[in-house]
């Protein structure tokens, strides 16, 4: 066990560091990614988008080179496309200028396949014929962005144009803090991991500065030090409000995988595999869980907030038309008002359904059961492959194997030991999404054993 005792010099250094809040600088700007106040230049946009897809999408040997399955390649492409479409939408809405993007002929359809997550769709009928080299020139007029996405982009662009500070020491009020946090989450070319780490660093610096100003300084500083990333992310989302457009697609993507699969293990493993194949640093499972947790919660809460605003607006219009029905002597005007009342009541029903669905997702997501893990091996070894339990168990095992054991030849290791490891890993993941007081001690890294090859006779 490591020695936890610290020297007086170390303690003094830590105290000095705590009292001097870090300054978060803008990301380094390289020659290929020049960013102006007006957004990316057309050429830089092309380079940025090509960079997002070059590693896997454009690499025919990606599966072999990175040791990925076809499904993993698909998931990574889907995740990358969410970022691709987001950058595309922001550029179009911000600049309204046509630009050429070198893409394979099928790529517009790929973007359209995840339009529900991003709010961006390419009208393939408005595209010109492919060039001789197979690329397609996509004019901005062929890119369709939903009204909701346009509104969010405009709001975020308005914040960006105010040039929010990236120095926590310059924050004077909560409005400035919200603008800086939102801008740090949406601006720059870093991946989701990097942006969230950056905004946590900024917020920790801000809290440290405020703690140094408090009357009970030492107590306030200790409280900041004790805050976990999850707690900070939770506070950040409350300050920022609705999930920024740049993260909305990822939030919807994770939420959809959770709803469709019925287990938090699916979006966790999906994001972990993406992080493992795109990041330079070792993957931190607890941080992956924090990102997935905050984005799904943020996505659901944004759905609820948007629906509630729509309901309030519908109530306002209904009230106005009810007054017309009650007071107007013009029959035709009354008919129109009654029609409007019926329409807006139906819209309220849709929004109430959206709220109910989001609340249901939040309830299931924030209190995941360990039942699916406790019975995992039994259900996996079941003989009836048509049952929901059998299929769910195989879905979980498949996710764990592809994420943590992609190189293991299952025919060469003891099956029981292997499945127990998979079960432990699944339990560890579920524990990360449960309240610390309700986590199961039955699942722990200490219970995962080293897999060894079976003797030759047993293999045979």
Q: Which of 450, 440, 433, 390 is nearest to 269 (CA)?
A: 433
Q: Say which residues have a Cβ less than 8 Å from residue 378's Cβ, sequence separation at least 6.
A: none
pLDDT-above-90 percentage for the chain: 25
Q: Based on the domain organization, do 320 and 421 belong to the same domain?
A: no
| pLDDT score recorded for residue 427 | 95
Q: Say which residues have a Cβ less than 8 Å from residue 401's Cβ, sequence separation at least 6.
A: 408, 410, 422
Q: Based on the domain organization, do 122 and 94 belong to the same domain?
A: yes
Q: Is residue 390 part of a domain?
A: yes
What is the value of pTM for the model shown? Answer: 0.64
Q: What is the dihedral of CA 272, 32, 45, 47, to 10 degrees?
A: -70
Q: Based on the domain organization, do 255 and 335 belong to the same domain?
A: yes
Q: 74-122, pLDDT tens digit by residue? A: 655 665 556 556 655 655 555 544 443 444 344 566 566 656 656 677 7
Q: Based on the domain organization, do 290 and 315 belong to the same domain?
A: yes
Q: Based on the domain organization, do 292 and 341 belong to the same domain?
A: yes
Q: 374-389, pLDDT tens digit by residue? A: 999 999 999 898 999 9
Q: Based on the domain organization, do 350 and 272 belong to the same domain?
A: yes
- Computed over every residue of the chain, the mean pLDDT equals 74
CA–CA gap between residue 414 and residue 230 (Å, rounded): 38
Q: 144-192, pLDDT tens digit by residue? A: 777 776 666 666 666 666 677 888 888 888 888 988 888 887 765 556 7
User: Which stretches of the chain score pLDDT less than 70?
Assistant: 1-119, 130-140, 149-162, 187-191, 243-248, 276-281, 455-460
- Whether the CB-CB separation of 426 and 433 falls below 8 Å is answered with no
Q: Say which residues have a Cβ less than 8 Å from residue 149's Cβ, sequence separation at least 6.
A: 89, 93, 118, 119, 120, 245, 248
Between the two ends of the chain, the Cα-to-Cα distance in Å is 42
CA–CA gap between residue 193 and residue 280 (Å, rounded): 11
CA–CA gap between residue 111 and residue 275 (Å, rounded): 21
Q: Domain range for residue 335?
A: 248-366
- Whether the CB-CB separation of 306 and 352 falls below 8 Å is answered with no
Domain boundary residue, one of 342, 366, 390: 366
Q: How many domains does the chain have?
A: 3
Q: Is residue 444 part of a domain?
A: yes
Q: 413-426, pLDDT tens digit by residue? A: 888 899 999 999 99
Q: Based on the domain organization, do 405 and 337 belong to the same domain?
A: no
Q: Based on the domain organization, do 449 and 354 belong to the same domain?
A: no
CA–CA gap between residue 343 and residue 108 (Å, rounded): 34
């Amino acid at each position: 066990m490591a020695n936890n005792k610290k020297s007086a010099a170390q303690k003094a250094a830590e105290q000095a560091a705590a009292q001097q809040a870090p300054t978060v600088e803008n990301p380094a700007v390289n020659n290929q990614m020049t960013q102006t106040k007006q957004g990316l230049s057309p050429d830089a946009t092309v380079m940025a988008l090509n960079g997002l897809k070059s590693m896997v999408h454009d690499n025919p040997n990606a599966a072999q080179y990175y040791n990925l399955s076809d499904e993993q390649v698909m998931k990574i492409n889907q995740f990358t496309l969410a970022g691709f479409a987001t950058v595309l939408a922001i550029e179009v809405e911000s600049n309204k200028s046509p630009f050429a993007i070198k893409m394979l002929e099928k790529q517009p359809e790929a973007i359209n396949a995840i339009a529900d997550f991003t709010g961006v769709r390419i009208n393939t009928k408005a595209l010109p014929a492919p060039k001789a080299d197979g690329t397609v020139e996509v004019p901005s007029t062929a890119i369709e962005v939903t009204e909701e996405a346009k509104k969010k982009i405009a709001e975020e662009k308005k914040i960006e144009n105010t040039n929010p500070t990236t120095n926590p020491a310059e924050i004077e009020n909560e409005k400035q803090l919200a603008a800086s946090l939102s801008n740090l989450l949406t601006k720059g070319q870093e991946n989701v991991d990097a942006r969230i780490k950056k905004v946590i660093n900024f917020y920790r610096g801000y809290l440290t500065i405020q703690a140094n100003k408090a009357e009970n300084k030492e107590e306030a500083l200790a409280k900041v030090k004790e805050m976990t990333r999850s707690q900070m992310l939770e506070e950040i989302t409350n300050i920022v409000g609705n999930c920024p457009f740049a993260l909305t697609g990822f939030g919807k993507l994770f939420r959809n995988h959770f709803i469709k699969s019925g287990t938090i293990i699916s979006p966790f493993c999906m994001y972990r595999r993406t992080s493992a194949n795109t990041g330079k640093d070792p993957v931190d499972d607890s941080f992956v869980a924090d990102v997935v947790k905050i984005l799904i919660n943020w996505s659901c809460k944004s759905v609820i907030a948007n629906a509630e605003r729509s309901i309030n607006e519908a109530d306002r219009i209904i009230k106005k038309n009810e007054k017309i029905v009650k007071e107007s002597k013009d029959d035709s005007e009354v008919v129109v008002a009654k029609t409007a009342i019926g329409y807006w009541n139906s819209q309220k029903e849709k929004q109430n359904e959206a709220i109910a669905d989001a609340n249901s997702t939040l309830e299931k997501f924030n209190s995941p059961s360990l039942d699916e893990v406790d019975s995992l091996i039994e259900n996996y070894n079941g003989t009836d492959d048509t049952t929901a339990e059998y299929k769910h168990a195989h879905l979980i095992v498949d996710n764990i194997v592809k994420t943590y054991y992609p190189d293991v030849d299952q025919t060469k290791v003891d099956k029981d030991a292997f499945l127990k490891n998979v079960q432990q890993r699944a339990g560890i993941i579920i524990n990360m999404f449960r309240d610390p007081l309700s986590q199961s001690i039955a699942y722990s890294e200490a219970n995962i054993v080293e897999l060894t090859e079976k003797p030759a006779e047993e293999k045979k």
